[in-house]
A and B are shown apart, each in its own frame.
Chain A
Amino acid sequence: MAVALGFEGSANKLGIGVVRDGEILSNCRRTYITPAGEGFLPKETAQHHREHVLSVLKEALEGAGVKPQDVDVICYTKGPGMGAPLATVAVVARTVAQLWNKPLLGVNHCIGHIEMGRLITGAKNPTVLYVSGGNTQIIAYSRKRYRIFGETIDIAVGNCLDRFARVLKVSNDPSPGYNIEQLAKKGKKYVPLPYCVKVFDLHINIGLGMDVSFSGILTYIEERIGKLKKDGYTPEDLCFSMQETVFAMLVETTERALAHCGSTEVLIVGGVGCNLRLQEMMGEMCKERGAKLFATDERFCIDNGVMIAHAGAEMFKAGVQMKWEDCTITQRYRTDDVETVWRDD
């Protein structure tokens, strides 16, 4: 039995959760929401996390019904992410680890998403599409590592959608992506937008991967927003066209990875992953190929503490220990840098 406490704060979500051998005991979250037209900046985001971290911690422990002495390991997001928010939350994790005299583990944020997705959905060895505000990767597991089959060469798909929301002055509450999704449902007219996938060699022996790019489509919209509106495209039409285009890029790349790896499972994780249109399109592709789609809802797709707790617990059970001086944070931390000692396949 291992009880793990997890802290997440790499972006604008502050999450703390408790997990006991894959059973979720609590999953608490606060989101820093900025006014429409604005994004979140490191300093203010860190401030938000500082303000709420203690009350969320209390809530998580009480919700789980565990006392500090019941906790076996404390886990926190080591990276990747925004420096100031990461550091804020890491300081709290380090402090409670010392206060309660518990081992401390720094967890790769992306690994947290993948392991959480596998836990919730039961997917065994899926090809993973990880899509969020900071990351866009197509990942396949091979020989003790989550290997990146394709990724964005510039901005993440979630970042593209967030900034698109700012152009349209769409509200950030509860999240820009959610509001775009609702608007898109009412969109009818499709306007063709730049579609950019690029084939690339991989460092694994599975042939060619496929990368995506989202900065061009954003610039395209930013430069033409006035004209598009004058031409009769409503914000709803633009949201619809945006989603149809970027999601098609993601599904095409995932399909290529699926074909190469001969995999029969697709798992979508990350904040953008709770978009139902993306899930629908991916499901359609899977149906054509005879594959199975696994996805989760906003509780586990969007950044949360319990995913860090769960991935940390897997590491802990596999015997991973981290020296105190290694328990730092890093803004850059690749998914394929982590050896997955807890996976034996």
Chain B
Amino acid sequence: MKGFDLMKQGAEARLYVGMYLGKPTIAKERFKKAYRHEILDDLLTKERIKAESRAIVRCKMAGIRTPTIYLVDFNRRIIFMEYFTNSITAKEMIENQSQSTDKTLELFSLELGKLLGRMHGANIIHGDLTSSNILLFNHMQNLEVVLIDFGLAHIESNTEDKAVDLYVLERALLSTHSIADKLFDKILEGYRAHYKQGSKEVLKKMDEVRARGRKRTMVG
């Protein structure tokens, strides 16, 4: 891709960084999978590009800061979207203790909880909530939190999917950060406050999900 540099290659897509219409841009290319039948590959890719862009737009309508979509190119299988140049990931923020006082961590957790509450209120399931998929910027004066990577997102109203969404975040935080429980309590506080109608049921469901995990007894 002209003018774009490869930033990262995952199992499903390549991420490039460059400029588009004078703005710093990320291009997410879902490259062709040679092992997959062409018709199936095209269908799946189109579906996933649509689901991702739809979730991002819906988040925007619910008042959640997400990358602005500049262009969706089905033929080249690329979504061009806003690149946040002076942001850090939540992961970096939590790990860099010198920068993050207890107060900022608390503010961040409440703010994240608020966004997640709004997101679930709009029936959007992120599907991959890890601290690398949460960005922050301007964190000195006015803390802004942005959710990215909606590659696994879908629209769903049931409590099960929302509970699993939160559970994924809890597990991801617990496995990477030592101060996770403190953070997660505050996240839930913000969540409850901004998702009044549904949070009670989701959190009840989450206790169930925690208890069972994903273990299934198996029959030969």
Contact = CB atoms under 8 A, between A and B. Distances in A.
Interface of A: 10-11, 79-82, 86, 109, 134-135, 151, 153, 190, 192, 195, 199-203, 205, 207-209, 211, 244-245, 248, 251-252, 255-256, 258-259, 280-282, 284-285, 288, 331-335
Contact of A153 (B33, B167, B216): B216
B11 A331 contact: no
A284 B218 CA distance: 30
The 9 A-B residue pairs whose C-beta atoms are closest, nearest first, are A81-B220, A80-B220, A284-B35, A205-B175, A281-B35, A259-B11, A134-B220, A244-B37, A332-B217
Given A134-B219, A192-B43, A195-B43, 19 more contacts: A80-B220, A81-B219, A81-B220, A134-B220, A135-B218, A135-B220, A151-B218, A190-B39, A192-B40, A202-B214, A245-B37, A248-B40, A251-B36, A259-B11, A288-B33, A288-B35, A331-B219, A332-B217, A332-B219
Contacts of B164: 200-201
Contacts of A282: 35
B63 interface: no
Given A200-B164, A256-B11, A331 B214 contact: no
Nearest to A335: B218
Interface in B123-139: 127-128, 130
Contact of A248 (B36, B152, B219): B36
B127 A199 contact: yes
Contact of A80 (B167, B171, B219): B219
Contacts of A288: 33-35
B168 interface: yes
A109 B40 contact: no
A334 B11 contact: no
B55 to A, nearest CB: 14
A10 B130 contact: no
Given A331-B219, A334-B217, A207 B172 contact: yes
A151 B40 contact: no
B214 A199 contact: no
Contacts of B218: 80, 135, 151, 332-335
Contact of A195 (B40, B130, B152, B220): B40
A203 B43 contact: no
Contacts of B127: 199
15 contacts: A82-B220, A109-B220, A151-B216, A153-B216, A195-B40, A202-B171, A205-B175, A207-B130, A207-B175, A208-B168, A248-B33, A248-B36, A259-B10, A285-B33, A332-B217
Interface residues of B, number: 29
A281 B35 CA distance: 5
Chain B binding site: helix, strand, loop or mixed by DSSP? loop
Interface in B8-55: 10-11, 33-37, 39-40, 43-44
Contacts of B128: 199, 208
Nearest to B164: A201
Contact of A201 (B34, B35, B40, B214): B214
Contacts of A79: 220
B121 to A, nearest CB: 22
B48 to A, nearest CB: 11
Chain A binding site: helix, strand, loop or mixed by DSSP? mixed
B215 interface: yes
Nearest to A206: B175
Interface string B157-170: 00000001001100
Contacts of A10: 220
A244 B36 CA distance: 7
Contacts of A207: 130, 172, 175
B130 A248 contact: no
Contacts of B213: 203
A260 to B, nearest CB: 8
Nearest to A247: B35
Contacts of B33: 248, 252, 285, 288
A208 B175 CA distance: 12
Nearest to A203: B213
B67 to A, nearest CB: 20
Which of A207, A209, A281, A282 has most chain B Cβ within 10 Å?
A207
Contacts of A192: 39-40, 43
Contacts of B130: 207
Contact of A11 (B43, B215, B220): B220
A284 B36 CA distance: 9
B167 A201 contact: yes
Contact of B168 (A81, A201, A255, A333): A201
Contact of A285 (B35, B44, B172, B215): B35
Which of B11, B35, B43, B219 has most chain A Cβ within 10 Å?
B35
Contacts of A81: 219-220
A147 to B, nearest CB: 12
B34 A248 contact: no
A135 B219 CA distance: 8
A80 B218 CA distance: 7
B220 A331 contact: yes
A245 B36 CA distance: 8
Contacts of B219: 80-81, 134, 331-332
